[in-house]
Amino acid sequence: MDAKIRAQRGRGRGLLSGGGLLSGRGRSAGLMAALVFLVALNLRPSVTAVGPLLPQIASDTGMDEGIQGLLGALPVLAFALVSPLVHRASHRLGPEPVVLGSLVVLAAGTLVRSWAGDAGLWVGTVLVGVAIAVGNVLVPALVKRDYADTIAWATSLYSTCLTVGSAVAAAAAVPLANAWGWRSSLAVWALPAGLVALVWVPRTLHARPIPAAGRTWSDAKEEARASVWRSRTAWQVTLFMGLQSTAFYTLVTWLPTVQIAAGFSAETAGFHLFVFQLVGIPAGLLLPLLMRDPHSQVLAAVVASVPMVVGVLGLVLAPGAGLWWAVLTGLGAGPSLVMAMTLIGLRSRGPRETTRLSGMVQSVGYLLAAVGPVVFGQLAKVADGWQLPLSVLAVVAAAQVVVAVFVGRVAQAPGGTSRLLLESGEAGSSLEEEPEDDA
């Protein structure tokens, strides 16, 4: 039976049965593997806590809309620039130590951003973006490796953890700032990152690489590069990721400000941002029910994409109904993230190919997404209002629906051969045969 079909039908084995590189067996190994989801919880709070606080930050620092957009886009730009480099560090050191280092940098960068003055605000934001970029690439690869038989459901749980962390940070940002100031409100997210770094240490100490299988690294490197950057499938996944990330990060950065301009209080606008992310959790968890056909995910991709178009148009046409549009956009954002992350796993074979595809998708995809908050802010400044930037965002969301039709049609090549290799002219070989000592 085709490997992808087995993966889709293996849901019943449970998500705490991960193995992979871990030295233990049974329950302890499963719990050790499940620590990856704690890492996922920390990959968004330091980013999404900024949007609700932009009015306070701007008031304190004198930033205009364009600079505020740049501050919101800077972590996403770091995602784009760092993602292609992560596999090198992972290959040299192993994925677990690199993830541990990223958690330490995330905690440190969060503190620098909060307590090192105006310059530290920018330096710390860069450090936060670099640290999260590492997790963005390696955590999906670890999920792919440790939960290969339940990839769609494990990816859905991973995406849910991203959304939960993001939603909690957005909801807590304004209340914490009202109590302690915006700098302390941002700094608080260093604590969970530091705690997860501590519990990740045992996994780092007990991780061991899968033995090499006879392929040289140079040969594998050349095939992997061809299989990703020359693949139509990889570019379709990348474009889908870029469009959904553009919509998400633009709304995370600007939705509270847009809703404050529509007459809502800062607290209510922050709550709407929380709802935007919260409703994506159950929607994302249910999306795998639409991915039962291992050869097509068109239905799931389109269903995930359409609500964003409707919600953004609602913000343009009836801004007073802000809560309802937050719900609709959230029903698109959550499942779209699950869809993008699942496609990375479904369109690749083995942890190494997953890491390389993930690096490409997140590098180019987040480069597109980094433009969103900046352009949105500049358009608002030029138009002196939010109608124009929201209309442009609606076009971006509509483009995602079109891409969803194409990216959902792509299926694994016959016989389990890597589709990426087939499209790049390397169909006679598979990255599954190469040494897989990095995720």
Domain ranges of the chain: 3-209+217-429
Q: Which fold has domain 3-209+217-429?
A: Growth Hormone; Chain: A; (1.20.1250)
Residues with Cβ < 8 Å from 434, sequence gap 6 or more?
A: 213, 215, 217, 219, 220, 223, 224, 350, 352
Angle, vertex CA 182, rays to CA 180 and CA 185, nearest 5: 70
Residue whose tokens read 């594998």: 220
| pLDDT beyond 50 at 429 | no
Please list, in sequence order, all residues whose beta carbon lies within 8 angstroms of the beta carbon of residue 200, skipping any fewer than 6 positions away.
35, 38, 39, 96, 99, 100, 103
Share of the chain above pLDDT 70, in %: 80
**Least reliable range by pLDDT among 108-117, 176-185, 414-423:** 414-423
Question: Does residue 3 surpass a pLDDT of 80?
Answer: no
Cα 34 to the chain's mean position, in Å? 18
Overall residue count recorded for the chain in this entry? 439
DSSP 426: -
Question: Helix/strand/coil (H, E, C) string of 330-387?
Answer: HHHHHHHHHHHHHHHHHCCCHHHHHHHHHHHHHHHHHHHHHHHHHHHHHHHHHHCCCH
Taking only Cα atoms into account, the Rg of the chain, rounded to an integer number of angstroms, comes to 21
Confidence at 419, pLDDT banded by 50, 70, 90: low
pLDDT digits (tens, 9 = 90+) for 211-255: 343 444 444 444 444 557 778 888 999 999 999 999 998 998 899
pLDDT digits (tens, 9 = 90+) for 178-212: 999 999 999 999 999 999 999 999 888 876 553 34
- pLDDT tops 70 at residue 350: no
The mean pLDDT value for 333-350 works out to: 83
